Structure 1
Amino acid sequence: MTGLTARIRNGENWPVPEAVLTVTDSTGRQIGRAVADNTGAVATGSLPPGLHTAVLTAPGYQPVARTAQVSAAGAGSLGDITLVAVAETVALPPAGTWTIDPVHSTVIATARHLGISSIKARFAEVGGRIDIAAPFERSTGYAEIKAACIDTGIAMRDDHLRSADFLDVERYPLISFTGRGMRRTGSDTWVMPGELSLHGQRRAIDLDLTYGGFGPDPWGGVRAAFHAETVLRRDDFAIDYNAMVRAGVAAVGTTVKLDLDIQVVQGEQLPPM
Structure 2
Amino acid sequence: MSAGSWSPGTRVPGAAVATTAAHGRVVTPEGWPVAGATVTVLGADGAQLASGTAGDDGRFTLDGLPAGAGTLLVAAPAHAPKAMTVVVPAGPSWTVGELRLTRRGGTDVPAPGLYLLDTAHSTVSAKAHHLGLATVSGRFTEFAGAITVDADVARSRVDAEIVAASIETGNAQRDAHLRSPDFLDVERFPTLRFEADRLERGGAGWVLPGRLTLAGTTRPVQLDLSYLGSGPDPWGGTRAAFSATAELRRQDFQLNWNQAVGVGIAVFGTTLRVTIDVEAVLQP
| Cα separation, 2, equivalents of 1:210 and 1:89 | 15
1:165 is aligned to 2:203: no
1:154 is aligned to: 171
Quote how far apart the aligned CAs of 1:213 are.
0.5
Among 112, 118, 123, the alignment partner of 2:135 is 118
Q: What is the match of residue 238 of structure 2? A: 222
The answer to whether the aligner puts 1:201 opposite 2:204 as a matched pair is no
* CA–CA separation in structure 1 for the residues paired with 2:108 and 2:260: 44
AA of the residue aligned to 1:173:
P
- Cα distance in 2, alignment partners of residues 244 and 149 from structure 1: 27
CA contact (8 A) 1:207 1:229 kept: yes
Q: Is the 8 A contact 1:106 1:125 kept in 2?
A: no
Q: CA deviation at 1:252?
A: 1.5
Q: Residue type of the partner of 1:102?
A: T
Whole-angstrom distance in 2 between the partners of 1:261 and 1:219: 21
1:181 correspondence with 2:198: yes
Residues 1-273 of structure 1 correspond to what in structure 2 (within 5 A)? 90-187=107-204, 189-242=205-258, 250-267=266-283
SS of equivalent residue, structure 1 residue 166: coil
- TM-fit CA distance, 1:184: 1.1
Please state whether the residue corresponding to 2:269 is helix, strand or coil.
Answer: strand
Q: How far did 1:170 drift?
A: 1.2
Aligned residue type for 1:105:
S
Contact 1:105 1:126 in 2 (8 A): no
Identity of aligned residues (%): 47
**Secondary structure in structure 1 of the residue aligned to 2:139:** strand
* Counterpart AA for 2:200: R
Partners of 2:220 and 2:270 lie apart in 1 by 18
Question: Over aligned residue pairs, what C-alpha RMSD do you find?
Answer: 2.2
Change (3 A) 1:100 1:132: same
Question: After superposition, what is the alpha-carbon deviation per residue over 1:108-159, rounded to whole angstroms, capped at 9, x for unaligned?
Answer: 1111123332111111212110000112111111111111110010011111
Q: Provide runs of 4+ in structure 1 moved above 4 Å.
A: 88-91
Indicate the SS of the match to 1:158.
Answer: helix
Contact 2:108/2:227 (CA < 8 Å) preserved in 1? no
The one-letter code sitting in structure 2 at the alignment partner of 1:142 is: D
TM-score, length basis structure 1: 0.61
Matched pairs, number? 177
TM-score, normalization by structure 2: 0.59
- Which of the pair has more CA radius of gyration? 2
SS in 2 for 1:137: helix
Tell me which amino acid in the other structure corresponds to 2:110.
P
Report the Cα offset of residue 180 of structure 1. Answer: 1.6
CA distance in 2 between partners of 1:110 and 1:125 (Å): 18
Q: Give, in angstroms, the shift of residue 255 of structure 1.
A: 0.7
The alignment partner of 1:241 has SS state of: coil
